[in-house]
Chains A and B, each alone.
Chain A
Amino acid sequence: MTHAIAISHLSKTYASGFQALKDVSLDIRHGEIFALLGPNGAGKTTLINVVCGIAMPSAGTVTVDGHDIVKDYRAARSRIGLVPQELTTDAFETPPATMRLSRGLFGKPANPAVIEKVLKELSLWDKRDSRIMTLSGGMKRRVLIAKALAHEPQILFLDEPSAGVDVELRKDMWQLVRALRASGVTIILTTHYIEEAEEMADRVGVINKGELIVVEEKAELMRKLGRKQLILELRERLHALPAALAGHGLTLAADGMQLVYTYDTKGERTGITTLLDEVRNAGIRFRDLQTRESSLEDIFVGLVRQR
């Protein structure tokens, strides 16, 4: 079975000599939500630009639903909708007019019913007669999504969809993305908001300095790389860790008012019982304890820092 997108040994070096992508290989499955995470300048947008035809690859191949993006660009591109990171919209047009342009560009005949449906789904119907320049930033972001959906794409790229939008719109967008996935659309999103990936993604890829560090099912990634922490809230401040507790890898936090113990949940023994015994023997009293699982954000930061 062909993948929605198959990227093989893709590299991209700009004219300035900067290598934005280094031998990236990645397969995106049909109907999944794939989150591509990475710090600023990691190569996320370059990767999207190459797949969508905005930037030329220096080496490697990309196929979209089996169609090569260079040799068979019409078939490849007609399947893709792109919501760019920047709010780059036509200022003087109305939302339906700019959507008609998008739909035509992607080789589809005019269909007012589709335009109306998308506008209504994105709560833009009331703004259909307004010039885009008069809309708020959040509304402009919706217009960009509407343009990308105007030709009913099978694959949707969302490059930082939550940048600069309020919480309500973000939640609306998550709902829309889920509905699109339910209708069979494959979604690839890049985001700085890791909670967005944690909330929605089926799989996660982490890219840093042009290299794809890891690609994994989100749940599996969190299971594999996730850690749990036991936090002891102390009754009295500790100025240093007692020597008797040195072997547990404890850290002293919150100005000496917390002891933090990080452990592997998959291990046969977590070492918690021994630790608590030794804490008591050392005469340290605590008033509360809590456990915390590492988030996708913690994992992401850990992965990027390792490099």
Chain B
Amino acid sequence: MRLEMNLYGARAIYMYEMARTGRTLLQSIVSPVISTSLYFVVFGAAIGSRISQIEGVSYGAFIVPGLIMLMLLTQSVTNASFGIYFPRFVGTIYEILSAPVSAFEIVLGYVGAAATKSIVLGLIILATSELFVPVRIAHPAWMLLFLVLTALSFSLLGFILGLWADGFEKLQIVPLLIITPLTFLGGTFYSTSVLPQPWRTITLFNPLVYLISGFRWSFFNIADVHVGVSLAMTLLFLAICLAIVWWFFKTGYRLKN
């Protein structure tokens, strides 16, 4: 079997998507940085000063991983979904479908670009948070691993959303009504250990708890669930998203009549 790849094709999509970010710098980078800074001002400085330390970490620093995750998840989903939905909406998808690019190369281009943007954004927010609170990273390699895996998984989810959506409303539903509430309820601003039962057990059905917990562990060595479980759940989520994308391309769902 010949292993061939159209790397020029994947690169063309990637560069095209990255150029789109360059054109919408205000919306893509500046806006999330400003909203994160506001979170730090409100929760970190104003409210945080009245909250005692959580498991030995100041509240301002404690929320940093959660805030990065919040932005990482919403931006990954938004960027990737818009990237593939817009060509479907305006009709330029014909060119992607008629080009000699495989499903893998298409995903590599779109999801790779969306994940890159999210990772860069995550690192910018991390640097911004340093302006407000002192942040230490206990396990930098794990931090980067969680950052990359989460950005990839949720960019894949966004890609799925962009393929599934048949209108701008559906495109907004998942980030607004699912991702954001689950992130807030997944321990962005608190440790799930402070929740009373049965809410603490119920919270474990929220997949984002594992991502936020693992990411926070890489910073402060404290976690709501074991880091191995967090990693396994992240990989499981990635695998599920890959399987769904594979099925979309295999059947031509929403792509080919």
Taking beta carbons and an 8 Å cutoff, which residues of A are in contact with B? Answer: 14-15, 49, 52-56, 73-78, 80, 82, 84, 86, 88-92, 97, 100-109, 147
Contact = CB atoms under 8 A, between A and B. Distances in A.
B13 interface: yes
Band of interface residues on B = 20 to 34
A147 B91 CA distance: 14
A104 B9 contact: yes
Given A15-B257, A107-B6, A82 B94 contact: yes
Nearest to A73: B100
B169 interface: no
A78 B100 CA distance: 6
Contacts of A52: 97-98
Given A53-B98, A77-B100, A82-B94, A101 B12 contact: yes
B8 A107 contact: yes
B9 A105 contact: yes
19 contacts: A14-B257, A54-B94, A55-B257, A74-B100, A74-B102, A75-B100, A82-B94, A84-B94, A88-B90, A88-B92, A90-B92, A91-B90, A100-B12, A103-B8, A104-B12, A105-B9, A105-B95, A105-B99, A107-B8
B257 A89 contact: no
A101 B8 contact: no
B50 interface: no
Contact of A104 (B8, B97, B252): B8
A107 B9 CA distance: 5
A108 B6 CA distance: 9
Interface centre among A88, A91, A92, A97 (most CB of B within 10 A): A88
A209 B23 CA distance: 45
B139 interface: no
A56 B252 CA distance: 8
Interface string B1-19: 0001010110111011001
A13 to B, nearest CB: 10
Interface of B: 4, 6, 8-9, 11-13, 15-16, 19-20, 23, 90-92, 94-102, 252, 256-257
Given A90-B92, A97-B19, A106 B257 contact: no
A55 to B, nearest CB: 5
Contacts of B12: 100-101, 103-105
Nearest to A102: B95
Nearest to B101: A105
B45 to A, nearest CB: 39
Contacts of B91: 84, 86, 88
B197 to A, nearest CB: 49
A80 B101 CA distance: 13
Contacts of A105: 6, 8-9, 12-13, 95-96, 99-101
B23 A54 contact: no
A15 B257 CA distance: 7
A31 B20 CA distance: 39
A96 B8 CA distance: 16
Contacts of B23: 92
A104 B9 CA distance: 5
A54 B88 CA distance: 12
Pick the 6 closest A-B CB pairs, nearest first.
Answer: A104-B12, A88-B91, A105-B99, A74-B100, A52-B98, A77-B100
Contacts of B9: 104-107
A126 to B, nearest CB: 23
B100 A106 contact: yes
Contact of A108 (B4, B8, B96, B98): B8
B176 to A, nearest CB: 25
Nearest to B251: A56
Contacts of B19: 97
Nearest to A20: B257
A75 to B, nearest CB: 8
A78 B20 CA distance: 26
A97 B17 CA distance: 12
Given A76-B100, A84-B94, A108-B8, 15 more contacts: A54-B98, A56-B252, A56-B256, A77-B98, A86-B91, A97-B16, A101-B13, A102-B95, A103-B8, A104-B8, A104-B15, A105-B12, A107-B6, A107-B9, A107-B101
B106 to A, nearest CB: 9
B26 to A, nearest CB: 14
A73 B105 CA distance: 14
A53 B95 contact: no
A207 to B, nearest CB: 18
A88 B89 CA distance: 10
A101 B256 contact: no
Given A90-B92, A107-B6, A54 B100 contact: no
B94 A88 contact: yes
Contacts of B90: 88, 91
